[in-house]
Amino acid sequence: MKDFLPLFPLSLVVFPGEHLNLHIFEPRYRQLIRECEENKVTFGIPAYIDDQLMDFGTEIRLTNIEKIHPDGKMDVETEGIGIFKIHTFYREVPNKLYSGADIERMENDSKGNAHTAHRILMAIEELFDLLSINKSFPNDPNDFSVYDLAHHVGFSLGQEYEFLCIPTELERQNYMLTHLEDLIPIVKETERLRKKASMNGHFKRMISPDDL
């Protein structure tokens, strides 16, 4: 079933369950936010990557208008609630300033694998230790979605979009774990090279091989 959704394209990826604070300054999006508040409707943030509007985005619920500035600009709080796919994009919506689309809401299979989730948590802990990052993350592999971690594992914007398009938690887990297992050796090698470079200028005790 297709539904109409007002759109607020941004050069970022929002995930279901994510809380996003936005500073609204363009008249078209101020209109959109006012309508969301008055009519209790949602809007969509499709990713805008490399000057191109992507097919998939995240449906967003307005949760609070934190502040309205004297010039009409707004600070608002929102939450991602689900994934949608654009079927027909309308650059101009009749009698509106903003764009919109006929969209299809995508089903989400949220059942993952606890063992894979545990491996992800261990890999993130190792990555954070290597990078000296002091950031909390879930402890219980049964008590989180990989969406919760997707902005914290070193994905590029393109990888975040690919991740958004994956329909099941199990596939998302495998995607994230593969990424971490590929990334950690690179970080280790980078750290080794950094330490080696820091030795330049110091005297080194080198021993020649006996068999030469």
| Overall fold of domain 2-105 | 2.30.130
Instruction: For residue 87, give the nearest of 12, 4, 148 by alpha carbon.
Output: 4
Q: Residues of CATH 2.30.130.40 domain(s) within the chain?
A: 2-105
Q: Is the pTM of this model over 0.75?
A: yes
Sign of CA dihedral 83, 88, 94, 98: positive
Question: pLDDT digit of tens for each residue in the chain (212 aa)?
Answer: 579 999 999 999 999 999 999 999 999 999 999 999 999 999 999 999 999 999 999 999 999 999 999 999 999 999 999 999 999 999 999 999 999 999 999 999 999 999 999 999 999 999 999 999 998 888 888 888 999 999 999 999 999 999 999 999 999 999 999 999 999 999 999 888 877 777 655 554 545 455 55
Crossing angle for the helix pair 169-198 and 157-164, to the nearest 10 degrees: 160
Rounded CA-CA distance 20/123 in Å is: 26
